[in-house]
Amino acid sequence: MLTFNQVSFGYPGQEELIQKVSFQVEKGEFLSILGSNGSGKSTIAKLITGLLIPTKGEVTIGKYVTEKKQDLHSIRKKVGIIFQNAEDQFITSTVFDEVIFGLENIQYPPEEMKSCAEAALHKVGMLDFSEHEPHRLSGGQKQRTAIASILAMKPEIMIFDESTSMLDPQGRKQIMQVMKELHEEGLTIIHITHHMEEVLSAERVLILNEGNIVMEGTPKMVFNHSDKLQEYHLEVPFVIKAREGLIKRGFQIKDDVINIDELVESICRS
Binding interface with ligand ADP (CB under 6 A): 11, 14, 17, 35, 37-43
Question: Which of 49, 112, 56, 52 lies closest to 79, judged by CA?
Answer: 49
3-state secondary structure of 207: strand
When binding is defined by CB under 5 A, the residue of 42, 66, 145, 149 that contacts Mg ion is 42
CB of 40 to ligand ADP, least distance (A): 4
Site mask for Mg ion (CB under 5 A), range 93-122, x = bound: ------------------------------
Residue closer to Mg ion (CB basis): 42 or 224: 42
CB of 37 to Mg ion, least distance (A): 7
Number of residues that bind Mg ion (CB under 5 A): 2
> What pairs with residue 101 in β-bridges?
none
Tell me if 66 contacts Mg ion by CB under 5 A.
no
| 124 in Cβ contact with 174 (< 8 Å) | no
Tell me if 164 contacts Mg ion by CB under 5 A.
no
Residue closer to ligand ADP (CB basis): 43 or 174: 43
| 18 in Cβ contact with 10 (< 8 Å) | yes
What, of ligand ADP, Mg ion, none, does residue 32 touch, CB below 5 to 8 Å by kind?
none
3-state secondary structure of 16: coil
| First and final C-alpha spacing in the chain | 45
| 105 in Cβ contact with 73 (< 8 Å) | no
What, of ligand ADP, Mg ion, none, does residue 35 touch, CB below 5 to 8 Å by kind?
ligand ADP
What, of ligand ADP, Mg ion, none, does residue 107 touch, CB below 5 to 8 Å by kind?
none
What, of Mg ion, ligand ADP, none, does residue 110 touch, CB below 5 to 8 Å by kind?
none
What residues contact 234, with CB distance under 8 A and at least 6 apart? Answer: 34, 35, 36, 194, 196, 207
CB of 182 to Mg ion, least distance (A): 21
Q: Are strands 18-25 and 56-61 parallel, antiparallel or unpaired?
A: unpaired
CB of 72 to ligand ADP, least distance (A): 19
CB of 159 to Mg ion, least distance (A): 11
CB of 163 to ligand ADP, least distance (A): 12
| 60 in Cβ contact with 3 (< 8 Å) | yes
Residue closer to Mg ion (CB basis): 40 or 237: 40
Q: Cα–Cα distance between 131 and 94 in angstroms, integer?
A: 5
126, burial (CB in 10 Å: exposed 0-12, middle 13-18, buried 19+): buried
Which residues of the chain form contacts with Mg ion (CB under 5 A)? 41-42
